[in-house]
Amino acid sequence: MSEKVYLVFDIETAVIPYESFSASQQEYLVRGAVTEEEIERKKAEMGLTPLTAQVATIGMKIVPFSQLEKEEEKLYELLNEEIYAVRDSKEEYIDAENYDDTNPEKNENNISKTSDSLMDYSISQDILYDKNRESIESVTKNVALMLNPDLTDDDEPIITIQDDKTFYETSEKRLLETFWKTVDKYKGCVLMSFNGRNFDAPFLMIRSALLKVKPTRNLMEGTKFNYPQHIDLIDELTFYSPSGYGATKRYNFDFYTRAFGLVSPKSEGIDGSLVSVFFREGKYKTIADYCLRDVDATWKLFLRIKNYLTIK
């Protein structure tokens, strides 16, 4: 039986071109907007819904339970060295982690391969992850599933391994299929996200339905206050009662990471509001790197708070 794992995930989304919608859909999408600024804002918000946006990247970190203590030690070594003491200012973003429904205003030696299945390829290449371990199950893995619009469902995916990260380029349908295969491979995994119950999970479910991809797990099972095998850090940090003010005021991901002494994934010149722009420019790897930083920061935030808040 496979060792139980945490599967930390995050998605980045890119707007489907406005011109690709019918006239009636276009009218609906910008209804109520009068000025050019209002129209452009409406179009930007298209990136937040699965009917008007596509999955640009799914980032995943797969951490065996047996590695938890080691991961905690690594984090606190970094914190003690003040590597994560970054306090520079940052502007407001329009992305899912910063979006508030109650306030809309608010390298060298790379190895490239192709394969039908990321997980099959990963299993056959255990040595690439850790030469000192007998089983891939005991190794933390970082994976970015990337949408490359130049590839069709029939094209072979492009897999690149760089350092400890695997980048997997394919069509959106195959990207989703690979994600669900990964979830199925790690049956019983504990999902982890930041705002995943409000955005990432339903987005993935709806995009899968649109593209006729069958999920291997209902990411939205349970209720608002009781859902199994998923740790959503926004709920933990607001005690399942997010508010616009007071002790359970909901802040964005950038604010939480900085408040807890971690490096914000937004600190390298890209945030969610730029994903659609970068996607149009073909900067898929840049988006994937950013997404993996989000995933890594989610994991580090969990490690930072887990011993101080009662996390299920």
**The domain that contains 10 carries what CATH number?**
3.30.420.10
- Count of domains in the chain? 1
For residue 312, being part of any structural domain is answered with: no
Contacts of 257 (CB under 8 A, 6+ apart): 263, 264, 265, 297, 300, 301
What is the rounded average pLDDT of the residues 11-26? 97
Lowest mean pLDDT among 25-39, 57-71, 88-102, 258-272: 88-102
Range of the domain at 288: 5-305
Percent of the chain at pLDDT > 70 equals 80
For residue 121, being part of any structural domain is answered with: yes
For residue 114, being part of any structural domain is answered with: yes
| DSSP class per residue in the chain | -PPPEEEEEEEEEEEPPGGGS-HHHHHHHTTT--SHHHHHHHHHGGGGSTTTEEEEEEEEEEEEGGGHHHHHHHHHHHHHTTTT----------STTT-BTTBS----S-EEEE-S-HHHHHHHTHHHH-TT-S-GGGS-EEEEEEE-TTS-TTSPPEEEEETTEEEEEE-HHHHHHHHHHHHHHTTT-EEEESSIIIIIHHHHHHHHHHTT---SS-TT-S-SS--TTEEEHHHHHTTT--BSSSTTB---HHHHHHHTT---TTTTS--GGGHHHHHHTT-HHHHHHHHHHHHHHHHHHHHHHTTTS---
Burial of 36 (0-12, 13-18, 19+ CB in 10 A): exposed
For residue 123, being part of any structural domain is answered with: yes
What is the rounded average pLDDT of the residues 115-136? 38
pLDDT greater than 60 at residue 252: yes
For residue 311, being part of any structural domain is answered with: no
For residue 310, being part of any structural domain is answered with: no
112 pairs with which residues across the strands?
160
Contacts of 115 (CB under 8 A, 6+ apart): 121, 156, 157, 159
For residue 140, being part of any structural domain is answered with: yes
Confidence of residue 54 (pLDDT cuts 50, 70, 90): very high
Confidence of residue 156 (pLDDT cuts 50, 70, 90): very high
Q: What is the pLDDT of residues 23-39, one digit of tens each?
A: 999 999 999 999 999 99
